[in-house]
Chain A
């Protein structure tokens, strides 16, 4: 029936992006705009004894200098945590740390300079004199608990919360029933820097007469940011505050959260009654954007000699950084331990986590958010288990799959998987990778003296967090529904206002395909409107691979309402009963069953709705419908990936030669966009496996503040990725879609790690930590 959904339509937004004509916050120039720069702490942990801003303030071109106390006295509140698990202690965090308080990570903010130019502001930063009492830094997700260094007075053991799920006795029983228990001790899930292409930015304009504030910010979710600003941090009422996220150049999670600069910038704009703009430098982004991962875990997996997994037990310390970023506690709890059973039926499961505080940049959601951490720990352990019992890694996984006929499947760790067919997934993987051929290739390479390895992964994702009432029960301060307003204009063109936010994903195209098919109109007859609280209904934004399955479902519901209203008008005008009419979604018209020539076109009906000359009695004029869609459940995309690597014996360098991925993301609206998401995700996942690491030295100094040191994966590092799909629709959303944004990232890290470990296993190496840099591999294989 559908004609646009399922097609690889070229992205409507790309002409402006590829020509450099997007409109980003940094491009914004308002007459009289002043420039804001922020003084950042050079220390990981220090008491702010005093600040002298007089020299900076005296520099010609400097308009004002503000410190933390100015903002507190001016009514700015503490940054709230939006996910409060039971027994959590939330450390105090100000937009700018005041004198007498402390800085707690390199990059913590201590003063704000406003100047006529960005250059002058930068000069003035160097003139601010700060007296610090430098304190030792407490570092390490696990080590911080016993460091004896108190970062926040009310958290003496640097622990914000404990959290646990599962059945401990069952897990222990499972482990004792196993023939082998594989244990990976203090397994590290590396800290990553998201590095969206566009650094964060904020600009604000105050209208003195109407007392309205407009804030432009690089956010993935402008409405929740407005709510937090209104209710907690800035105090401007919601109806007087407009938040706009225009074109945003990537987020990967790091732009979900409420950041200090979103408070400082509008506060100053109002204080000075001048438009103000702040744009992060790349190094500033590297020290202040919330980062990802950073777990230390000990995982135990019990297996029988026949490959049956009997139990999983995991203990994790999750480094949350110096303060709790907006959703930090959600990631290592409900988005992590609940995914600990992967694709498998495991009788005994128990997981526990401690959210800990260190003198580092805050950590929160980063592409995959919790799920890659779970997948990496589990799939690494399963790989070690397969080697231990000398079983093919795919065979071991197959042995434990949840069978296709047992969906919906209730896992022992709270989630109910909606649908899946994991054997079909792996059948496809074995087919496209010629698995037996690949094994033969590896064995031949080994026989020729090379270090060659194959890494297999089966991965699960929970995408589109849901439903809202469960979010509330788990500590969330937000709901997880999404909104859509479908405005059919009198001429039959459509504006679709969505609460989802596109920061590179292609919503302007994929959502338009959905709208067009709902109504039977062309993709260019629809525009997707997003990212402006003055234009769109309250909506939750984009993260957690939720946009299409939740936001898209809201569109479908709104479309149904539009069609129903159109049917009413058509029934009236065609003098037929509604039940005798057909809404033709191929051609955008309504006709009488059996008499297709008796019909009304979509445009005619739209126009009729607005002239209101001839509507059924009691029907309101106009054609605008809205929906707030609260999903019944997450969706559960799943994937099977294989990597083939050869390791250079002499240098330790990894040569990734082949990569095959099969992903089941349910129905697909735009295959090209999905493939882009999968491949981009794989690259990011391999980044974690081989290259990326947001490292700190023993004093808490970040070591990777520029791209000279932080290794982003680059196109020339990779072979062509062979990607394929299987389709198991989600049964509980109207499009049958599942999230596609994070699957690649989740699966790729362990796939490549497993391949490298397989390559060096013949030399007696069981495990090394990420990232698998040449030096680490060289040391491991030479036992240095």
Chain B
């Protein structure tokens, strides 16, 4: 548990952070440090330098404007879990954040770090895709927005270009007709998701008017379950309809992750169970 040598810089501003990243090839951004530092201690990651963005005020805070909820990249899991703004406008994010790791992890880990890390077993990526978030990033070429659907590109890989830093995550505020739920099946050792499913259901006139379902943990990045979604749209959100829809999970989820604890076959099965349970909770 002894990392190799590295240089350490503390960035005072976003521009300075981007500058430091460009000047130091092999440097990495340090946010909460709860994915990066363990990897460095195991010598799985060996950045030449760390650019600590932890004190950049622009990256902090949660706000609501024009029906858009914006969460700064440095916002910790605990802050999201406990935020009344998040609970009222996109409750599923708070619910999922409250299930990440343990209290110490939630006090340090950040939403930006979790998304940038793109761990297949992480919770946020699954939820971010289901709620259709936009991820704002800043880099050498200025600001740009990336749709959550195209943000995750592979195992631990994202659409972030060299030198780009996530600044915030934005989701449309949900009204009372919409409910979301995240169902997590945790690994007893790590607490990470073996499989997690997120369901967002809007109901009108007694039927589901829109449905969004994602599954993480089974594949390199979370996947959307279009078959499940379309099977439920226009139908009443009752147990029979939900079960029938959840049975279509395997149209979208074809697990590539698998280990001694949970084979890919078992993860495929769990995905359908988690989808059903997330849908039930989102429809209750």
Give me the interface of A with B, judged by CB distance under 8 Å.
118-119, 122-123, 281-283, 650-651, 653, 690-691, 695, 703-704, 706-712, 714, 717, 773-775, 778-779, 784
- Contact residue among B189, B265, B273 (Cβ-Cβ distance under 8 Å from A651): B273
Whether A691 lies near B2 (C-beta < 8 A) is no
In the complex, the answer to whether A650 meets B273 with C-beta atoms within 8 Å is yes
Name the one of A651, A707, A710 contacting B270, with C-beta atoms under 8 angstroms: A651
Of A283, A651, A695, A778, the residue contacting B260 (CB under 8 A) is: A695
Residue of A with least CB distance to B262 = A775
**Interface positions of B from 25 to 57, Cβ below 8 Å from A:** 42
Q: In the bound complex, how far is the Cα of B273 from the Cα of A650, in angstroms?
A: 7
Docked CA distance A282–B260 (Å): 21
- B284 touches A (CB below 8 Å): no
Please tell me if the beta carbons of B262 and A691 are within 8 angstroms of each other in the complex: no
Report the Cα distance A710→B265, complex, angstroms: 22
B150 in contact (CB, < 8 A): no
Contact A123 B4 (CB under 8 A): yes
8 Å CB interface, B1-16 against A: 1-5
Contact with A773, one of B1, B190, B261 (Cβ below 8 angstroms): B261
Residues of chain B lying within 8 A (CB to CB) of residue A710: 189
Interchain CB contact under 8 A, B266 and A778: yes
CA distance A711 to B259 in the complex (A): 14
Q: Which residues of A contact B270 (CB under 8 A)?
A: 651
A690 and B2 alpha carbons, distance in the complex (Å): 32
Known: A118-B2, A119-B5, A122-B2. A651 touches B185 (CB 8 A): yes
Contacts of B188 in A (CB 8 A): 690-691, 711, 714, 717
Judging by beta carbons under 8 Å apart, are B262 and A709 in contact?
A: no
Which residue of chain B has its CB nearest to the CB of A648? B273
Output the nearest chain B residue to A706 by Cβ-Cβ distance. Answer: B42
A707 touches B263 (CB 8 A): no
Are A707 and B190 in contact, with the CB atoms below 8 A?
yes
Chain B residues, Cβ within 8 Å of A651: 185, 270, 273
CB-CB nearest in chain B for A713: B188
On whether the beta carbons of B263 and A775 are closer than 8 Å, the reply is yes
A119 in contact with B2 given A703-B260, A775-B266, A778-B266 (CB within 8 Å): yes
Which residues of chain A come closer than 8 Å to B185, judged between CB atoms?
651, 653
Interface residue from A650, A653, A709 paired with B189 (Cβ < 8 Å) = A709
B246 smallest CB distance to A (angstroms): 11
The distance in angstroms between the C-alpha atoms of A281 and B262, with both chains bound, is: 27
Q: Which of B189, B262, B263, B273 has the most CB of A within 10 A?
A: B189
Q: What are the residues of chain A within 8 A of B2 when measuring CB–CB?
A: 118-119, 122, 281
Interface 0/1 of B250-278, CB less than 8 Å to A? 00000000001111011001100100000
Pairwise interchain contact A712-B273, C-beta atoms closer than 8 A: no
Interface residues in B, total, Cβ within 8 A: 21
14 contacts between A and B (CB under 8 A): A122-B4, A123-B5, A283-B1, A691-B188, A703-B260, A704-B189, A706-B42, A708-B192, A710-B189, A711-B188, A711-B189, A712-B189, A775-B261, A779-B266
Expressed in whole angstroms, the Cα–Cα distance for A784 and B2 within the complex equals 43
Which 5 A-B pairs give the minimum distances between C-beta atoms? A711-B189, A711-B188, A122-B2, A708-B190, A650-B273
Of the residues B1, B4, B187, B269, contact of A281 by C-beta under 8 Å = B1
Structural contact, B190 and A709, CB atoms closer than 8 A: yes
Which residues of chain B are near A714, meaning CB under 8 Å? Answer: 188
In the complex, the answer to whether B189 meets A707 with C-beta atoms within 8 Å is: yes
Q: State how many angstroms separate the Cβ of B44 from the closest Cβ of chain A.
A: 11
A119 CA to B1 CA in the complex, in Å?
9
Complex CA distance for A712 and B188, rounded to whole angstroms = 8
CB distance from A200 to the nearest CB of B (A): 14
Q: Which B residues are CB-close (under 8 A) to A695?
A: 260
Additional A-B contact list (12), CB under 8 Å, known A707-B190, A773-B261, A775-B261 = A119-B3, A283-B1, A650-B273, A708-B189, A708-B190, A709-B261, A711-B187, A711-B188, A712-B189, A717-B188, A775-B266, A778-B266
Residue numbers in B under 8 Å from A703 (CB-CB): 260
Of chain B, the residue at the smallest CB distance from A37 is B2
Instruction: Name B276's closest neighbour in chain A (CB-CB).
Output: A650
| Most chain A CB inside 10 Å of its own CB: which residue of B3, B5, B273 | B273
CA distance A453 to B5 in the complex (A): 54
Whole-angstrom distance between the alpha carbons of A717 and B261 in the complex?
17
CB distance from A697 to the nearest CB of B (A): 8
Q: Chain A contacts of B3 at CB under 8 A?
A: 119
Contacting A at CB under 8 A, from B179-217, are 185, 187-190, 192
Closest Cβ of chain B to A776, distance in Å, is 10
Q: Shortest Cβ distance from A360 into chain B, in angstroms?
A: 16
Residues of chain B within 8 A of A706, CB atoms compared: 42
B45 smallest CB distance to A (angstroms) = 15
- Whether the pair B1, A282 counts as a contact (CB closer than 8 A) is yes
Chain A residues whose CB sits within 8 angstroms of the CB of B265 once the complex forms: 784
Q: Kindly list chain B residues whose C-beta atoms are within 8 Å of the C-beta of A774.
A: 262
The CA-CA distance from A283 to B1 in the complex, in Å, is 8
1/0 per residue B125-151: CB within 8 Å of A? 000000000000000000000000000
Q: When chains A and B are docked, how far (Å) is the Cα of A775 from the Cα of B265?
A: 10
Query: B5, B265, B270: which has the most chain A beta carbons within 10 Å?
Result: B270
Measured CA separation A118–B269 after assembly (Å) = 46
CB distance from B43 to the nearest CB of A (A): 8
The interface centre, meaning the residue of B3, B4, B192, B260 with most chain A CB atoms within 10 A of its CB, is B260
In the assembled complex, the Cα of A703 lies from the Cα of B261 at a distance in Å of 11
In whole angstroms, how far apart are the Cα atoms of A518 and B269 in the complex?
Answer: 64
| Cα(A711)–Cα(B185), bound, Å | 15
Q: Choose among B188, B192, B263 the residue with the greatest number of A CB atoms under 10 Å from its CB.
A: B188
A775 proximity list for chain B (CB < 8 A): 261-263, 266
Please give me the residue from chain A that is nearest to B269 by CB atom.
A778
**How far does the alpha carbon of A122 sit from the alpha carbon of B4 in the complex, in Å?**
8
What is the CB-to-nearest-CB distance from B122 to chain A, in angstroms, rounded to a whole number? Answer: 13
Q: How far apart are the CA atoms of A409 and B63 in the complex, in Å? A: 75
Q: Collect the chain B residues with CB atoms within 8 Å of residue A711's CB.
A: 187-189
CB distance from B235 to the nearest CB of A (A): 22
**Closest chain B residue to A122, Cβ basis:** B2
Cα–Cα distance between A711 and B273 once the two chains are bound (Å): 23
Min Cβ gap B87→A in Å is 22
- In chain B between 159 and 194, which residues have their CB closer than 8 angstroms to a CB of chain A? 185, 187-190, 192
CB distance from A116 to the nearest CB of B (A): 14
Chain A nearest CB from B281 CB (Å) reads 15
What separation, in Å, do the CA atoms of A118 and B270 have in the docked complex?
44
Alpha-carbon distance A650/B3, docked complex (angstroms): 42
Closest to B266 in A: A775
Residues of A within 8 A of B269 (CB): 778
**Neighbouring A residues of B273 by C-beta, 8 Å:** 650-651
Residues of B with C-beta under 8 A to A118: 2
Cβ of A784: which chain B residues have Cβ within 8 Å of it? 265
Interchain CA distance A650-B185 in the complex, whole Å: 12
| Chain B hits for A283, CB < 8 A | 1, 42
- Name the residue on A nearest B191 (C-beta): A714
> What is the CA–CA distance of A282 and B189 in the complex, to the nearest angstrom?
14
B189 / chain A contacts, CB cutoff of 8 Å: 691, 704, 707-712
Q: Name the A residues within 8 Å of B190 (CB-CB).
A: 707-709
Docked complex Cα distance between A712 and B190 (Å): 9
The residue of chain A having its C-beta at the shortest distance from the C-beta of B277 within the complex is A650
Chain B residue numbers with a CB within 8 Å of A123 are 4-5
Which A residues are CB-close (under 8 A) to B261? 709, 773, 775
With a cutoff of 8 Å between Cβ atoms, the chain A residues found around residue B1 in the complex are 281-283
Q: Which of A282, A709, A712 has the most CB of B within 10 A?
A: A709
